[in-house]
Amino acid sequence: MPRVNAPPVPKLNVEEFDKKHLEGNTKPGTRIEVRNLSRATQDVMVEADARGHFDAPLTSRKGDTLEVHLERPEGSVNVYLRNEGPNAWSRVAPPLNEAEMDLMDVDLPMLEPTEEHLDDVHNALVEVHAVEGPLFVNGVAAEDVLQGKINNCYLACGLSLLAHYRPEAIQDAIQVLPNGHFEVTLYEGKYRPEPVTITVDSNLFVDEEGEPIYTHSSTGELWPMILEKAYADFKGGSYEKIGQGGKAGDVIRAFTGEPYMMHQVADARSLEDIFETVSNAVNSGLPASAGTYGDKDRYEGIKLYANHNYAVLGAGYDETTNEPYLLLRNPWGQSEPDYHGKPDGKDDGIFKISMEDFDRYFLTYSVVTEGRGRRGR
């Protein structure tokens, strides 16, 4: 798929969207005008508060397209949203005329599966189907992302971190085109990343029950699958290319342009230094991740896994012992170790780990070192 240079998209993080209001965040002081393009209703004008938060009362129904006009000192921009049902929406491209629609009526090539699934495709155990569903439901969250039957825990981990720390980056990255395809913005280049766009569709590899076999969502929303497919195209045009391991930091950089630094746990001067580095990052809104050793015997029976990436969702101090801990997430969305010998009973993949156990079981940790100001300069 050819890559197209693209301007940075505006920051608009939608938190709730139903038939009565549109709620979210943008830059403080931004004036927002919302117009329903699908039916005759009164336009709504509000202004974002000092935190950038806004709440716009509106009238819309499922299937309506809204034009959201953002008026800011650096210029005005329009964002288009489609109501997909209660708190579900898609970011769509501006409406086109019939001539423009005809030009967009093209088929996209299907990406190759992993080598592991080539025989399954040949034997019809795995097929390609158009997967349907809303792009977003109730915003985005780390828990939305589930790793599938592919060796890319780093990708699911990176998408989880983006959902947790950069929800607007995900919403900004995907735009639904009038023909139903998805235009995804990524960033190319290590030192001066520039935006490029890749177009994909929702034709995905599914099993005999019609469920996607690669990265998918716990809520049925499409965004994790669309971003994975775009990343596969971006990295070489096949799922095999992204199914051989990698770094969560590379995923974050691809969707934000933000750099990161990887550290070896063994090189740290002390556990206090590791905790300070990671906690300072995540408490400042900078994503962080951690990776385990390749020695499987090290993890026998403890529900941690070798050669696995974990998202760092937080850091704090134990209420009882006051010892520092990190809050991690397994991208499988299940299976977590006990904390001080006690399970939390949730089996959601999210768990606390003491710094002593982190030192014992983790090989690396990575932190994003610079915020969004680096994008597209």
Helices then strands, each counted (H, E), the chain? 8, 23
Question: Tokens at residue 83, please?
Answer: 């109501």
Residue 2 has pLDDT above 50, yes or no: no
| The token pair that represents 217 in the structure block | 């969502």
Residue-level pLDDT at 54: 94
Neighbouring CB atoms inside 10 A of 210's CB total 9
* Beta pairing, strands 216-217 & 145-146: antiparallel
Which pLDDT belongs to residue 121? 82
Q: Matching CATH topology for 19-85 and 260-373?
A: no
The residue ranges of every structural domain in the chain are: 19-85, 94-256, 260-373
The rounded distance, in Å, linking the Cα atoms of 19 and 213 is: 33
Average pLDDT rounded to a whole number, residues 66-92: 89
Average pLDDT over residues 61-78: 88
- Dist CA 293 CA 307 (whole Å): 6
Tens of pLDDT, residue by residue over 121-138, are 877 788 999 999 999 999
What residues contact 105, with CB distance under 8 A and at least 6 apart?
179
Q: Quick check: 112 pLDDT over 50? A: yes
Q: Which of 71-80, 295-304, 322-331, 340-349 has the lowest mean pLDDT?
A: 71-80
153 pLDDT above the threshold of 50: yes
Q: Give the per-residue pLDDT at 277.
A: 96
Q: What is the mean pLDDT of residues 218-227?
A: 94
Rounded to 5°, the CA angle 245-181-8 comes to 70
Model confidence, pTM:
0.87
Model confidence at 373: pLDDT above 50: no
Task: Give residue 1's pLDDT band: very low, low, confident or very high (50, 70, 90).
Answer: very low
* Residue 303 pLDDT exceeds 60: yes
pLDDT band at 76 (very low <50, low <70, confident <90, very high): confident
Say whether pLDDT at 95 is over 80: no
Q: What is the per-residue pLDDT for 18?
A: 86
DSSP strand E in 37-152: where?
44-47, 53-57, 65-72, 75-85, 88-92, 127-130, 136-137, 145-146
Whether residue 295 is predicted with pLDDT greater than 50 in this model: the reply is yes
Q: Tell me how far apart the alpha carbons of residues 12 and 366 are, in angstroms, rounded to a whole number.
A: 27
Model confidence pLDDT, tens digit, residues 154-176: 999 999 999 999 999 999 999 99
Position with higher pLDDT, 369 vs 100: 369
Least confident interval from 80-84, 93-97, 245-249, 328-332: 93-97
Distance, CA of 146 to CA of 153 (rounded, Å) = 9
Give the C-alpha separation, 336 to 358, whole Å. 13
- Tell me what pLDDT residue 94 has: 82
CA distance 291 to 299: 13
pLDDT at 96 exceeding the cut of 90: no
Which helix (H) or strand (E) is 201 found in, with range? none
Q: What pLDDT score does 108 carry?
A: 76
Q: What is the pLDDT of residue 77?
A: 86
Q: Which residues contact 309 (CB under 8 A, 6 or more apart)?
A: 153, 154, 156, 157, 158, 247, 248, 289, 290, 291, 331
Closest by Cα among 315, 354, 359, 323 to 338: 354
Instruction: Please give the class, per CATH, of domain 260-373.
Output: alpha beta
Return the percentage of the chain with pLDDT > 90, whole number: 69
Q: DSSP character for 268?
A: S
Q: What is the pLDDT of residue 74?
A: 77
Domain 19-85: CATH class, spelled out? mainly beta
- CA torsion sign, 356 to 362 to 364 to 366? negative
Distance CA 280, CA 73 (A): 32
Q: DSSP of 305-319, one letter per residue?
A: -TT-EEEEEEEEE-T
**Residues 152, 354, 316, 331, Cα dihedral to 10°:** 20
The tokens 């989880």 sit on which residue?
160
C-alpha dihedral, 167 to 36 to 61 to 14, nearest 10°:
10
Beta carbons within 8 Å of 215's beta carbon, 6+ residues apart: 145, 146, 147, 148, 150, 152, 155, 156, 159, 224, 225, 228
Q: What is the pLDDT of residues 314-337, one digit of tens each?
A: 999 999 999 999 999 999 999 999
> Nearest 5°: phi and psi at 237?
95, 15
> For residues 312 and 160, what is the distance between their CA atoms, to the nearest angstrom?
9
Q: Picking from 3-17, 46-60, 339-353, which range would have the lowest pLDDT averaged per residue?
A: 3-17
**34-45: average pLDDT:** 90
Which position has the higher pLDDT, 337 or 375? 337
Query: How does pLDDT run across 236-252, given as a tens digit for each residue?
Result: 999 999 999 999 999 99
Q: Quick one: CA dihedral 305, 306, 308, 313, positive or negative?
A: positive
**pLDDT reported for residue 12:** 86
